[in-house]
Amino acid sequence: MTAEELSLDKAKGELHIAHGKERYILIPMRAYAAIIDAIVGLVGDAAAGPLYYLGKRIGKGLVEELRNRLQERHEAANVENLIKEYAGFLEELGFGKIDVKEFNSEHAVIHMHSPPSMAGISLINGKAAELLQKGKKICYIEAGMIAAVFEEIIGGKFQGRELEHGTLDNPYCVIEVRKMG
């Protein structure tokens, strides 16, 4: 992203990207991790459901921006265009480097290098870090976000799930999204 694509109106306290209408907020990675840690602290090992649901809601909130980006480029909302645009959009938003390993209209595998759910929890050393130490999955928010965007743009019901993740020293998540039924 170039500096020209960022627009900060200090008088209004508003940040816009690529001259879009959508307003953005920036939160530190530590704050993102604190949200995850708070949910894990409230519900313990059962945090998967609430975190995934949170990701689905965030993903639905990103759909309008993705549609606008595809429309501006005069691209159809097909799987290939959606994946490329979404990966670039998440990278712009600071979700780390994203490599799409495979995709079709019913299935995709996405490798997220240094996603916030992994990279952020090392900053707070709280309950979420304990989940990792127990070998539990951690990228529920990212999995939910990806599934929601597929549902909204491609149509149908999609399930996102973490296939594997790295360590705090090598943070990554491999997420699969698959059409249900």
Condensed to tens digits (0 to 9), the pLDDT of residues 43-102 reads 988 999 999 999 999 999 988 888 888 888 777 767 787 888 889 989 988 899 999 999
Tell me if the pTM is above 0.95: no
Q: What CATH number should be reported for the domain holding residue 121?
A: 3.30.1380.20
Section 12-20 average pLDDT: 75
Predicted pLDDT of residue 77: 67
Dihedral angle computed from the Cα positions of residues 38, 49, 149 and 23, in that order, rounded to the nearest 10 degrees: -20
pLDDT tens digits, one per residue of 113-142:
999 998 888 888 788 888 878 888 999 999
The region, left, alpha or beta by phi > 0 then psi within -120 to 50, assigned to residue 94 is left
**Structural domain count, the chain:** 1
pLDDT band at 3 (very low <50, low <70, confident <90, very high): low
Position 4 confidence tier, pLDDT thresholds 50, 70, 90: low
Dist CA 21 CA 17 (whole Å) = 8
Single-letter residue type at 73: R
CA distance 33 to 5: 27
Q: How far from chain centre, in Å, is Cα 48?
A: 15
Per-residue pLDDT tens over the stretch 17-47: 776 677 888 889 899 999 999 999 999 889 9
Structural contact between residues 84 and 76, judged by C-beta atoms closer than 8 angstroms: no
Report the alpha-carbon distance of residue 170 to residue 181 in Å, rounded. Answer: 35
Range of the domain at 142: 3-179
